[in-house]
Amino acid sequence: MLVKVCCAAFAFHENRKTCYFYDFKLQADYVNVTDPGLVTYVDVREEYPLHTGQNCMKVYNVEQTWFDANNTCSQDGGQLVTMTPDDVDLKYAVLHEHLSAEEWFWIGANDIDTEGEWKWNDGSTVQPLKWMPDNPDNSEGNEDCLETTNIHWNDQPCNDLRKFICEKLKF
Dist CA 143 CA 140 (whole Å): 8
Q: Is 147 in the site for Ca ion (CB under 5 A)?
A: no
Please tell me whether residue 115 adopts helix, strand or coil conformation: coil
- Least separation in angstroms between residue 89's CB and Ca ion is 23
Position among 144, 145, 147, 149 found at the interface with Ca ion (CB under 5 A): 144
* Cβ neighbours, 10 Å, residue 9: 20
Which of 22/67 has CB closer to Ca ion? 67
Plot region of 56 (φ>0 → left; ψ -120 to 50 → alpha; else → beta): beta
Q: Which is nearer to Ca ion, 43 or 144 (CB)?
A: 144
Residue number with CB closer to Ca ion (33 or 133): 133
Q: Report the C-alpha gap between 131 and 152 in whole angstroms.
A: 6
Contact flags string 103-142 toward Ca ion, x per CB under 5 A: --------x-----------------------x-xx----
The window from 2-10, 78-86, 121-129, 152-160 that contacts Ca ion (CB under 5 A) reads: 152-160
- Which residues, 6+ apart, have CB-to-CB distance to 133 below 8 Å? none
Q: Which is nearer to Ca ion, 31 or 112 (CB)?
A: 112
Q: Which stretch binds Ca ion (CB under 5 A): 23-31, 60-68, 85-93, 154-162?
A: 154-162
> Integer distance in angstroms from the first to the last C-alpha of the chain?
14
Under the criterion CB under 5 A, does residue 155 sit at the interface with Ca ion? Answer: yes
Inter-CA distances, 151 with 45, 46, 58, 88, 139, Å? 26, 25, 17, 11, 20
Residues in contact with Ca ion by CB under 5 A are 111, 135, 137-138, 143-144, 154-155
